[in-house]
């Protein structure tokens, strides 16, 4: 099949959060090695518990979230849950301070990318440099391109990619829903929500470290 998503999903996330997450993981790994090699109980266990809790939070909020455009639909990975929306079930896509995807009577809010007030103001200032607010430009390709970018943020661009991919894939999704991929009752696949085993696992591990630290401190 044609298109990037025929090979692998297209992934959209906050690059800043992604980099911060990996920097923290390296920092946490180095500190964990140091605690194991030179730490003493119970202080090392308490420090390890704090490190574990922060690492769990960083993983869930910085490394896990993302929007994945697949051949069969869009997958929204939030800190604790995954939401998969088949293209045939995707409705309106809007951007407020986050990307909102409508599926039936449910609205899925994507954790990333988000829109900050500073980002929105910066996009307004840089979209059409040198132009007065409300100016019409001279009709050149540069001005038309600047007008198209005015007020748009990274989240707006991602939302446009979702809509474009949905438009491209919808005919195929409708044919699939009418055929073998339809549900047993003859209805098309709909939104599915699942918990993330990885997020729950790292959170559980962090709680174990905290419990161990509390016990060690009381002994």
Q: Which residues touch 62 (CB under 8 Å, ≥6 apart)?
A: 14, 17, 18, 20, 21, 24
**pLDDT band with cut points at 50, 70 and 90 for residue 4:** very low
Q: In what helix (H) or strand (E) does residue 204 lie, and over which residues does it extend?
A: helix 197-218
- With 0.85 as the threshold, say if the pTM is over it: no
* pLDDT digit string, tens, across residues 62-76: 999 999 999 999 999
Same domain, 86 and 166: yes
Same domain, 30 and 108: yes
Same domain, 141 and 159: no
Same domain, 136 and 199: no
Q: Which residues touch 66 (CB under 8 Å, ≥6 apart)?
A: 11, 12, 13, 77, 112
Same domain, 95 and 27: yes
Residue 142 pLDDT > 90, yes or no?
no
* pLDDT cut 90: percent of the chain above it: 54
How many domains does the chain contain in total? 2
* pLDDT digit string, tens, across residues 167-209: 998 777 666 656 544 445 555 568 999 999 999 999 999 999 9
Residue 134 pLDDT > 50, yes or no?
no
The predicted model gives 11-33 an average pLDDT of 95
Secondary structure of residue 179 in the 3-state scheme: coil
pLDDT, the chain, mean: 81
| Residue 171, pLDDT score | 75
Q: Which residues touch 84 (CB under 8 Å, ≥6 apart)?
A: 73, 74, 75, 76, 191, 192, 194
Same domain, 176 and 139: no
Q: Which residues touch 172 (CB under 8 Å, ≥6 apart)?
A: 87
Domain assignment of residue 132, given as a range: 117-149
Same domain, 20 and 81: yes
Answer whether 203's CB lies under 8 Å from 60's CB. yes
Same domain, 51 and 158: yes
Backbone φ and ψ for 192, nearest 5 degrees, come out as -130, 135
Same domain, 87 and 105: yes
Same domain, 140 and 161: no
């Amino acid at each position: 099949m044609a298109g990037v998503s025929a090979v692998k999903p297209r992934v959209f996330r906050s690059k800043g959060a992604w980099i911060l997450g990996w920097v923290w993981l390296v920092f946490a790994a180095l500190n964990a090695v140091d605690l194991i090699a030179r730490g003493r109980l119970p202080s090392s266990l308490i420090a390890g518990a704090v490190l574990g809790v922060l690492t769990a939070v960083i993983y869930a909020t910085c490394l896990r979230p993302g929007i994945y455009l697949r051949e069969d639909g869009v997958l929204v990975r939030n800190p604790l849950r995954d939401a998969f929306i088949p293209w045939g079930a995707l409705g309106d896509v809007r951007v407020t301070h986050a990307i909102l995807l409508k599926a039936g009577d449910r609205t899925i809010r994507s954790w990333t990318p988000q829109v900050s007030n500073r980002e929105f103001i910066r996009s307004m200032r840089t979209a059409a440099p040198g132009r007065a607010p409300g100016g019409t430009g001279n009709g050149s390709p540069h001005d038309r391109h600047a007008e198209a970018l005015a007020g748009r943020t990274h989240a707006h661009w991602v939302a446009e990619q979702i809509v474009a991919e949905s438009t491209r894939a919808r005919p195929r999704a409708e044919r699939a829903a009418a055929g073998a991929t339809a549900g047993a009752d003859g209805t098309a696949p709909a939104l599915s929500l699942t918990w993330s085993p990885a997020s729950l696992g790292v959170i559980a591990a962090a709680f174990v470290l905290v419990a161990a630290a509390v016990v060690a401190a009381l002994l």
